[in-house]
Every structure is written in C-alpha cells, then in structure tokens.
Chain A
Amino acid sequence: MYVELKNLNKRFGGFQASDNISFGIEKGKLIGLLGPSGSGKTTILRMIAGLETPDSGDIFIAGDRVNDLPAAKRGIGFVFQNYALFRYMTVFDNIAFGLTVQKRDKEYIRGRVSELIKLIGLEKMEKRHPHQLSGGQRQRVAFARALAPNPHLLLLDEPFAAIDAKVRKELRSWLRETINKVGITSIFVTHDQEEAVEVADEIIITNSGRVEQVGTPIEIYKNPKTHFAAKFIGESITLADYDKLHGFEKVKGFDRAVLRPEFVHITKVQKELYPHASQRGIVENIFFKGNTLELRVDLGGQKITAYQSLDDASFSVGEEVSVLIYRLYLLGENEVRLEENHSIKSEGSFFI
C-alpha cells in the first residue's frame, strides 16, 4: 500500500469529523473519496496533506509515518476546491511558485513551467492573471501548480465543484487522461457519484466520519456492503413493504429494501411477459430527462421510479401498466443482500 491510514480520528469541538478511518491505496491508482457534504471526506484529505492534525491514528506514505512531518515535506500536490490560485501573480508565477520557494535555478524553472503549460494546453496565457481565465482554465492552472514540484501524491478537493456542467464533463476526462499520463497516485474528493464512478479506479465511500465501503465502482454498484452504500450509489428509493411486490417475500431480519430504477421494467398491459412475476401499477408522472423518460408509478400505494427509452411504447399519465421488478437490495441489520424475483425463474422453466 502506497498510502495507508490507520484508525484515524479527528474531532472539531463536538463534531466527530473522522471516526476510526482506515484504508490503503495502491501506487499509481486514482481514488475517489465519495460522500455527502459533512461526511468527513475533505477532513481525510486535509489530514493526509498535513493541513489538519489527527487526534489519534497514523498516516503512512510510501512506508513512512508522516504524522509529524510538516505539510511541505510530505511531497504532496494539493488542488483546492476554489483553486486558491495566487490572484496577484501571473499564470507563470503561479505554476513556478513551488519551485521558486525551493530556490531552483531560473533555467530549470522556466523549462518545467513551460512543460506544464503545454501539458494543460494554456500556451500563450502565461502572462494572464487568474481573474482573466475561465473556470476550467483556472482549474488546469491549479493542477499544473500542484504538479510543478514533482509530488509523489496528488490530492484534489472537489476539483469540479466550481465548474459549470458542460465544461465539467470535458474536464473530467481530461483530468483522468492527464493523471494517467503523468502516472501519479491521486486522491480526489467529490460528492457527485457520477463523477466518482466515471473518473476513479477505486471509490472510498464515506458517511458521517466513517468509511462505508472501498472498492471499484462496479463492485460497489453491484455489491453494496452497507445500507448507505446501497442507497448512495445509483438513483434509488427505499421501500418498507417489499413483500407486497410480486416475486418477493419477507426475509426475516431484513425490514426494508432498496429499489433502483434500472431494476424495473414497465410494459403495456397487453404485452406482459411474466404474469406471475409482474403486477399492475398506475403511471403518476412522466419526466423528460433528455435521453430517457423517467416514470413515477404507483404500485398499490408504494411509489417507484423507472426509466423508459424514448423508442419504447409511449405511456400516458393515469394509464395502467404492467410492472416487472427483477431484483432488490434487502437491507438487514448489518448487511445488504441482493434478492432476485423468484417468480421469473419458476415461470421461465414453465415456458421452456
């Protein structure tokens, strides 16, 4: 493990920001720290950087315990949420700052900075000040500034939060490619699951100061280990009376279930495939989402959400439809279980 946190605790007054945090990160990986705001993800990042001191626990980077090492000596590059570019310095001076502080010779600095300016594609903008740049350009400068002193570890705090939606998508793939090109171990903090899934090799989900689950995006999506992970990843709704859904029975110790829209299939009543596994619902609302339709369906009092391709048959509000639910995540006391619709199986064998 290249970066390792062991039983880290941090308290701000009465607020437990980090509650026994432990995880490890392999060299060269791009890690996403994902959690809602106030879940303690930024505190973890700041403790790794040395901007906050943990109350207890150890931080190891490349095998060395760095707790007592000042922030500047940890070999870390940090990209702040609002970039924290030096507003009274040019792009060039911003990127050169870390090297100037280290008193590297002028020739080297000039070479390294122009190399980085090329990397971020801001040639001919060296003389501009931060306020003359767009949000995306500022982010790139912050990125280059963090990389200039050749850190071993790059930390990014909500790198895309301050950028508008369209540029954000572009910047995400740019950042991913560039980090791969540079080959630096990186950790970024985000509250946006879509962003984490798209950018990270591995995701660490945090909630109220604790680590909920660590894994690749696919693993976490397919096998959520905790209630929080099951609900946080993917658009999901929680159902209490899941045994009222056709094809599912109450399992002892599992009181509620999480249903994701992609587990639901909606058809016209005449085209129903599995009569025993399906049930009838009433369309309550239809939302146009750009490339799909989102349907809200009332299923005997329980409201569920489903997606519908624009090419499929069109439904209208108030229409009775056939609803088939493939699977559910059942939430137990301390576990999450994936449950398939068992009526589909029995019915399937009937047909064959």
Chain B
Amino acid sequence: MRSKTLQIFLILLGVLFVALMLLLPLATVLAYALRQGWRIFAAAITDNYAVKALNLTLLAAGITLVVNTTFGIFAAWAITKFRFRGKQALTTLIDIPFSISPIIAGLVFILIFGRIGWAYPLLEAWKVKIVFAVPGIVLATIFVTFPFVSRALIPLMQSQGSDEEEAAALMGAKGLEIFRKITFPHIKWGLLYGVILCTARALGEFGAVSVVSGHLRGKTNTLPLHVEILFSEFRLTAAFAVASVLVVIAVIILILRNIVEYRLKKEEE
C-alpha cells in the first residue's frame, strides 16, 4: 500500500517537474511567437537574415556531423578492438568537451587563430580567416560535439568484444571488409543514435560559437545567435518565432531519437 502511494508521489513529482521546467517554457515560446498572428510569425522566419542564419547553422551542423561521425567511428574502433598504451588516457581526453564550458572552447580558438593568437601570422600569410568567419564556427561546433558518436559506440562495441572480428581476420578478411560485414551491422543503430544527439547539439550550440562568430549578420550569424540578437533588440515576437523553428527541429530530432532508441533496445534482445 505504501509503495503504491510512493509510486504515485514519484510519478506526480516527475510530471510536475517536466511540466514546469520543460513543457511550460516550450509552450511559452510557441505562444509568444504566434502572439501577433501568423503573418508576423511568417515574416520573422522568412526574414533574409533569419534564412541565412538557418543555412549557416545547417552547414555547420552538416560538416560537424561528417567530421565527428568519421572520427567517432575510428576512435571507438581503436579503443574497443585494439590493445595499446595510453588507451585510458585517450578515452578520457575524448570526453574533455563534455566537461569544459563551451565559452572556454570558443576562447581557446580565439587564442590560437585570433589576432592575438600564435597561428595568426601563418593564417594571414595564407589569407585564411578562421575567427569571425565560417571556419571558426564549424571548428567550435566540432569541438563541442566531439564525443557524442564515440560515446554512443564505445559501450556497444565493448559489449560485443572482438571475437567475431578475430574470427573474420583469421579467415583472411581485411580491415575494411571486417568493418563492413561484421562490425557495422552491429553498431548501425547505436551509430545513428550518436549521430542524432550530435546533430541536436550542433544545431543548438551557442556558447563556443558566440565567442568566435563575431555576430556579423548574414555572414557569421547562426540561428541561436540570431535569436539572441533579436532578443537584445527587444524584437521579442521575432526572437520567439525564430526560436520556435529551433524548437520544432528539436522535437523532430527527439522523435527520431526515440525511434532509434526503440530499435536499439529491440536489437539487444
């Protein structure tokens, strides 16, 4: 009887917390965005700068995805299927972006590639611009979302062990063939899970990108930065309208994530 009461209490607490902390703010965003009607909303999100910001966000997320997926697979592969010195250190290093504030990550890039950075003369000579330009935004996004794919893969690949790979290697299969035929079918759902999380984080990244972007409207402004600019200009409706675009993307990703998670669980059974 008591456990029943406890159960109801815990569920209520959970629901209340989620409603207050998550649903209410999200609903507010949407409500505020639509406060002045569809026309204003549509105008805000089809605004030239908003569209350019969305494009830049998608571009940065896209490049990040390719880079981090490739890196994540290789890192997870190396860590789980081989024995080498310093493996533990590598595993820990990969997690650094999770424990460092994104602002610091942004500052690091300024200190390396910015006007005061040691790599600046080199970049100047090659006429490459990183800080306050698109490459800087991409680099910052990559840094912040670095561990997602490898983190999703490592436990999965560890639990699988390397017996099947060894068996395949003993029969003469080469590295890529082993990966394609043996390893990949096992990790595909886990990989997709990592990729989705990585995408979600990349699309919403604010801190690190804010430092290196320079907020040049139409040039180095991503969608989250655009929201902030609108907000600080007291154009609240427009700010919330653009924010609602991010919310919708997030919800879609959330649904995808759940589908993949479901498949992943089924796979494990």
Q: Do A and B bind each other?
A: yes
Report A's interface with B, CB cutoff 8 A.
49-51, 71-73, 76, 78, 80, 82, 84-89, 97-98, 101-102, 145, 149
With most chain A CB atoms within 10 A of its CB, the pick from B163, B168, B172, B185 is: B172
- CB of B170 closer than 8 Å to a CB of A: yes
Indicate which residue in B167, B177, B185, B186 contacts A84 across the interface (CB closer than 8 Å).
B167
Q: Are A78 and B170 in contact (CB under 8 A)?
A: yes
Complex Cα distance A102/B177, Å? 12
B164 close to chain A: CB less than 8 A: yes
Interface residues of B (CB under 8 A from A): 163-164, 166-173, 177, 181-182, 185-186
Q: Which residues of B contact A73 (CB under 8 A)?
A: 172
Nearest CB in chain A to that of B182: its residue: A86
Which chain B residue shows the least CB distance to A157? B163
B177 A51 Cβ-Cβ under 8 A? no
- Contact A97 B171, beta carbon cutoff 8 Å: yes
Nearest CB of chain A from residue B156's CB, rounded to whole Å = 13
Q: State whether A101 and B170 are in contact (beta carbons under 8 Å apart), knowing that A86-B164, A87-B164, A88-B186 are contacts in the complex.
A: no
The answer to whether A72 touches B182 (Cβ under 8 A) is no
Residues of B with C-beta under 8 A to A89: 181
Contact A80 B171 (CB under 8 A): no
A101 touches B186 (CB 8 A): no
Known A86-B182, A87-B164: A71·B170 in contact at CB below 8 Å: yes
* A342 to B69 alpha-carbon distance, docked (Å): 78
The secondary structure that dominates the B interface is helix
B185–A98 touching, CB < 8 Å: no
A155 to chain B, nearest CB (A): 9
A149–B164 CB distance below 8 A: no
Known contacts A80-B163, A84-B164, A86-B164; is-contact A71 B169 (Cβ 8 Å): yes
B23 CB to closest chain A CB, in angstroms?
A: 40
Residues of B within 8 A of A51 (CB): 166, 170
Which residues of the other chain, A, contact B186 by a CB distance below 8 angstroms?
87-88
CA A97 to CA B164, docked complex, whole Å = 12
Nearest B residue to A82, CB-CB:
B163
| Cα–Cα, bound, A87→B169 (Å) | 16
Q: Which of chain B's residues have a CB closer than 8 A to the CB of A82? A: 163
Give chain A nearest CB distance to B118 CB in angstroms. 40
- With beta carbons under 8 angstroms apart, the residue of A49, A50, A101 that contacts B173 is A101
| Interface hub of A50, A80, A84, A88 (most chain B Cβ within 10 A) | A84
- Distance in angstroms from B161 CB to nearest chain A CB is 8
What residues on B are CB-neighbors of A88 within 8 Å?
A: 182, 185-186
Given A84-B167, A86-B181, 20 extra CB contacts under 8 A: A50-B170, A51-B170, A72-B169, A72-B170, A72-B172, A72-B173, A76-B170, A80-B166, A80-B167, A84-B166, A86-B164, A86-B168, A88-B182, A88-B185, A88-B186, A97-B173, A101-B171, A145-B167, A149-B171, A149-B172
- Which of A49, A85, A101, A149 has the most chain B CB atoms closer than 10 A to its own CB? A101
* Complex alpha-carbon distance, A87 and B170, angstroms: 17
Residues of A within 8 A of B164 (CB): 84-87
Contact A98 B172 (CB under 8 A): yes
Whether A97 contacts B163 by the Cβ 8 Å rule is no
